Structure 1
Amino acid sequence: MNKVILHGRLVKDPDIRYTTTGKCVASFTVAVNRQFAREGEPKADYIPCVAWEKLAQLIADNMVKGKEILVEGRMQVRSYDAQDGSKRYVTEVILSGMDFCGSKGDRGNAPAGNTGGFAGEPVDDYSIPF
């Protein structure tokens, strides 16, 4: 099974492009804090992500540098030949879904009514029927 779930913040604004057939592609990097970092080690990992079509457009319209995001997808490794003749490898997460995180004010211009996957007022645990 190849499944990746990441929670972090965008390092910079998403790079939005369109293919020759008109499909939207969003490329961006998510900074994910390491839970346990040793002295001298980086405290975060920077993971490249790619979204396609409707998901890419949603990200383009709503996400900017510093916004908190939860992404789900699959890890993909691809290779290409560089101009100098060397072979280069790229590892990235291809998104199948995402969710907004953080407070409403933190989401900036996120669509009205989107509450990051939750709807309505919070309820206490004792009023849930299961």
Structure 2
Amino acid sequence: MANLNRVLLIGRLTRDPELKYTPAGVPVCNFSIAVNRSFGKGEEKTADFFRIECWRGLAETCAKFLAKGRMVHISGRIQTRSYEAQDGTKRSAWEVVANEVQFIGKGGSPSREDSGERNESFDMDDMIPF
């Protein structure tokens, strides 16, 4: 039986994207989104928060066009990583590695040249040179 690790999320950015480069010069972009939970009548509204990571051309595109408050559709996989906290304890965290990001509705950075509504999709498979 095959394994499957796929996640689909629709939510709003909780902060502006942060673009960094690895020592090898590969772009990586990090941001987080809030996804509202379904709730019944009379129940308190709540949200789940997800850390999103994207790489290469997708990272640069997200850093250029996304901003806090923008709604996005994320397709990717869940990944865990281990790290050492400042107090020396070993910890682990999970994040979503996006391979596709769709921009939903209006929004984006103030420097965007166009102000029209856009729904853009960037698929990492389209960027692989083979």
TM-score of the pair, normalised by structure 2: 0.77
Q: How many residues align?
A: 115
TM-score of the pair, normalised by structure 1: 0.77
1:54 is paired with a residue of what secondary structure?
A: helix
Match of 2:33 in 1: 30
Deviation at 1:107, TM superposition (A): 4.4
CA distance in 2, matches of 1:114, 1:58: 17
Return 5+ residue gaps in structure 1 as ranges: 119-130
CA distance in 2, matches of 1:67, 1:76: 24
Return 5+ residue gaps in structure 2 as ranges: 122-130
Residue identity over aligned pairs, in percent, reads: 38
Q: Is the 8 A contact 1:101 1:107 kept in 2?
A: no
1:66 is paired with a residue of what secondary structure?
A: coil
CA distance in 1, matches of 2:23, 2:34: 30
In structure 1, which of residues 97, 101, 119 is the aligned counterpart of residue 100 of structure 2? 97
Match of 2:107 in 1: 106
Q: 1:24 to 1:114 in 2, by over 3 A?
A: farther
Deviation at 1:81, TM superposition (A): 1.9
Match of 2:75 in 1: 72
Q: Is the 8 A contact 2:67 2:107 kept in 1?
A: no
Alignment of 1:37-76 (within 5 A): 39=43, 43-76=46-79
Q: 1:76 to 1:6 in 2, by over 3 A?
A: same
Q: Highest CA radius of gyration, 1 or 2?
A: 1
Stretches of 4+ aligned residues off by more than 3 angstroms: 37-40, 105-108, 110-115
Supply the RMSD in Å over aligned alpha carbons.
2.5
